[in-house]
Amino acid sequence: MESGIDSKSKGEKGTILVTNDDGIQAPGLNALVSVLVSTHRFNVLVCAPQLEMSAVSHSITWRQPLRVEKVEMDGATAFKASGTPADCASLGVSSVLFPSVPDLVISGINQGSNCGYHTVYSGTTAGAREAFLNGVPAISISYDCYGGLSFEEFEKMLSLIDIIVIVPINKNIDSAAAKACLPIISGIIAEIKNNTYPQGCFLNMDLPKDVANHKGYKVTKQGKSMMKIRWKQITSHGQPSEIEHHLLFRRQLSGCQVDIDDSDHKSLQEGYISITPLGVLTHPDKDCKAYFEDWLPNLIQQHQSHNPLLD
C-alpha cells in the first residue's frame, strides 16, 4: 500500500494517532498517551470512541453522521467520537479532523489479549486495520491483564457482568505496559522517516501479564486460539425463558481452543511480547487450496456430464 510518508521531513517529530475500542476514558489508552507525551519525541493525536466498543470487529457507521467532541488530555490533541474504532481511525487519518495524516496509528492499549482468531472480532485490531487500509502504518496493542486466570475463573468473572466492561488496572502496571511498547514504536517511527518501513502489513502486539518482567520481543505468526461460545436461553432475570412472545439468549463460554505450535498465543503465555504481522485478509491453509484446486474441475466435469445443457 502507498503512504504519504515520503513528503514528511525526517527532522520533524513523529506524529502518532492513538485510538482504541475500550473508549476514550480507558486506562490503557490514557497510559499510552501519557508515556508517548512524556518522551517529548512525538506529536500525539487521539481519536477514540466515546463509549466502550469491545468486540465490534470492523463495523463502521454509514447512515448516521459521527458526533465528535474535543476532550482535554495533557500533551495531546484529543477527540471522542460516537462511532466505532474503525470510524475513529478512518476519521483520524482523513486530514479532516487533524491538519495532516499521522505517521503511525496505534490502536490500544486494549485490556485483554487479542491473539489468534480473536483478532477477527477485535475492535482494537480493526482500528489498526482501518489505518492500514488507508495507507498508514499501524499497530494494535493488547495487554493480557487477565492472564493466569483459569478458564473457570474467567467464565465466572464474565458471568458477574451483563456486558464486557473495563476493569481498572493498577496505574503502575498500565505505565509499565505502555513503556514496554516504546522501543517498537520508536523503531517504527525511525523506519518510517527513513522510508524503509514495509507497507504490506500492520502489526498486532500482545503484552504478557507480567509485562515488567517480560522475556523479550518475539515475531510470531497468527495462531488459531479462541474462546468457544454456547448460547443459553434466559429471561430478563437470568432464569430459563418461558416467555411466549419472544425468546432471550445469552452468550456463554463453553471452552477454549489453544495453539500447541509456535504462535502468538503460545509465545504470550511463555512471557514474550508477541509481535505478529497481519494483512487485511488471512490466507487459507495450503492443504485447503490444493484440495479445492483438485475438487472443482472434477465437480464441474461430473455436473456437466449429467447436465448436457451446460456444455
Average pLDDT of the chain?
83
The residue ranges of every structural domain in the chain are 14-224+259-305
- Residue 279's contacts (CB-CB under 8 Å, 6 or more residues apart) are 200, 201
Check residue 1 and give its pLDDT: 39
Check residue 240 and give its pLDDT: 57
Fold entry, domain 14-224+259-305: Stationary-phase Survival Protein Sure Homolog; Chain: A, (3.40.1210)
pLDDT of residue 225 exceeding 80, the answer is: no
Q: What percentage of the chain reaches a pLDDT higher than 70?
A: 79
- Residue 228's contacts (CB-CB under 8 Å, 6 or more residues apart) are 253, 254, 255, 256, 257
pLDDT of residue 150 exceeding 80, the answer is: no
Check residue 83 and give its pLDDT: 94
- The DSSP symbol for 111 reads E
pLDDT of residue 9 exceeding 70, the answer is: no
Q: What percentage of the chain reaches a pLDDT higher than 90?
A: 54
Check residue 254 and give its pLDDT: 65
pLDDT of residue 5 exceeding 50, the answer is: no
> Of 4-18, 157-171, 255-269, 291-305, which gets the smallest average pLDDT?
157-171
- The DSSP symbol for 257 reads E
Q: How many CB atoms neighbour CB 6 within 10 A?
A: 7
pLDDT of residue 20 exceeding 50, the answer is: yes
Check residue 161 and give its pLDDT: 46
Residue of 86 and 311 predicted with greater confidence: 86
- The DSSP symbol for 55 reads T
The set of cell numbers assigned to 33 is 498517551
Model pTM score: 0.81
Instruction: Render pLDDT for 201-224 as a digit per residue (tens, 0 to 9).
Output: 999 999 999 999 999 999 998 877
pLDDT of residue 244 exceeding 60, the answer is: no
> 299: pLDDT confidence band, cut at 50, 70 and 90?
confident
pLDDT of residue 33 exceeding 60, the answer is: yes
Backbone angles phi, psi at 222, to 5 degrees: -70, 130
Round the CA-based radius of gyration of the chain to a whole number and report it: 22
